[in-house]
């Protein structure tokens, strides 16, 4: 089984961190590979950033399909382009927010999300509604850090995140915490030890979900709206993403 971790940013430190996180939980026999977008934003913390990153995500999946990849993790908590990605992939495509929400809802009846900036808090609230978990999420909390600060300030950033997680447990009565950024992938174990409740991190959650789906010999349905896109001419900078007719 081969799983591709797609880093939808041009920051290679995120790609290395997420690759290491996925490898740390992968089963024997699962090969984890990494792919970063060839062009796009350095970090994702707005609707604009998500839109700009989507072409790179689709390019990565086109390459992955040619290479026989079995499943894909979109390593951004905004789950950018996940439905378009599912249309062109045979196997499962999972965004890390959706994966984390699912797992948190299984291990706790209520959870809180700790994310980065206040604007990404609003984006996360929209995602909870889209994925159907708004009733199980007690609160989305922002620690006020920009995504790139997670790389620049190290444990100082971790202290800010940890403090917000403690507040979530005490004030929200959350039974689990979801870390709302792929840049937090290396912090989950430390935070869980400190606060004493389960901490769900999306890259590892999505990796294990894909392993299970593929092991069950399931893939993305090609009936209905996730069927392969209709072949049609594309022009300009996206011409290379044209869908070939299927026989």
Going along the chain from its start, the domains and CATH numbers come out as 2-95+205-241 (3.40.50.12500), 97-201 (3.40.50.12500)
Alpha helices in the chain (DSSP H): 12-25, 47-67, 82-88, 96-107, 118-131, 149-152, 155-172, 188-195, 202-215
Pairwise CA distance, residues 32 & 17, whole Å: 13
| Helix (H) or strand (E) run with residue 226 in it | none
| Alpha carbon distance, N-terminus to C-terminus of the chain | 26
Give pLDDT, residue 77: 95
Give the residues of the chain that fall short of pLDDT 50. none
**What integer pLDDT is reported at residue 144 of this predicted model?**
85
| DSSP output for 82-138 | HHHHHHH-SS-EEEHHHHHHHHHHHH-S-EEEEESSHHHHHHHHHHHHHHT-TTTEE
Nearest residue to 202 via CA among 123, 95, 53: 95
The single residue listed with the structure tokens 């948190």 is 104
Q: Please, are residues 15 and 43 in contact by the beta-carbon 8 Å criterion?
A: no
For residue 182, the surrounding DSSP H or E stretch is none
User: What burial class does residue 245 get, using C-beta atoms within 10 Å of its C-beta: 0-12 exposed, 13-18 middle, 19+ buried?
Assistant: exposed
pLDDT value for 145: 83
Q: What residues have CB less than 8 Å from 137, skipping those under 6 apart?
A: 101, 110, 111, 112, 113, 128
pLDDT value at position 211?
Answer: 98
State pTM to two decimals: 0.94
pLDDT for 245 equals 81
- The confidence score (pLDDT) of residue 71 equals 98
- pLDDT for 146 equals 85
- Determine the pLDDT at residue 48: 96
Q: What single-letter DSSP state applies at residue 207?
A: H
Q: What is the pLDDT of residue 54?
A: 96
pLDDT of residue 180: 94
Instruction: Calculate the dihedral angle through the C-alpha atoms of 51, 54, 55, 60, rounding to the nearest 10 degrees.
Output: 160
CA 123 from chain centre, in angstroms, equals 14
CB 69 within 8 A of CB 4: yes
């Amino acid at each position: 089984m081969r799983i591709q971790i797609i880093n939808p940013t041009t920051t290679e430190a995120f790609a290395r961190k997420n690759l290491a996180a996925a490898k740390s939980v992968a089963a024997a026999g699962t090969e984890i590979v990494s792919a970063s977008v060839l062009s796009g934003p350095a970090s994702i913390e707005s609707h604009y950033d998500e839109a700009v990153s989507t072409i790179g995500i689709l390019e990565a999946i086109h390459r992955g399909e040619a290479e026989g990849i079995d499943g894909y993790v979109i390593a951004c908590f905004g789950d950018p382009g996940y439905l378009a990605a599912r249309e062109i992939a045979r196997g499962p495509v999972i965004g890390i927010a959706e994966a984390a929400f699912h797992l948190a809802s299984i291990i706790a009846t209520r959870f809180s999300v700790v994310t980065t900036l206040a604007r990404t808090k609003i984006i996360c609230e929209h995602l909870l509604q889209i994925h159907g978990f708004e009733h199980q999420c007690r609160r989305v909390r922002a620690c006020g850090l920009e995504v790139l600060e997670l790389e620049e300030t190290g444990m100082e950033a971790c202290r800010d995140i940890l403090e917000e997680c403690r507040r979530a447990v005490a004030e929200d009565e959350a039974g689990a915490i979801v870390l709302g950024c792929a840049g937090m992938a290396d912090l989950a174990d430390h935070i869980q030890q400190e606060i004493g409740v389960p901490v769900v991190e999306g890259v590892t959650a999505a990796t294990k979900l894909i392993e299970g789906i593929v092991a069950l010999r399931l893939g993305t349905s090609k009936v209905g709206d996730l069927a392969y896109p209709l072949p049609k001419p594309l022009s300009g900078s996206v011409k290379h993403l044209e869908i070939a007719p299927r026989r």
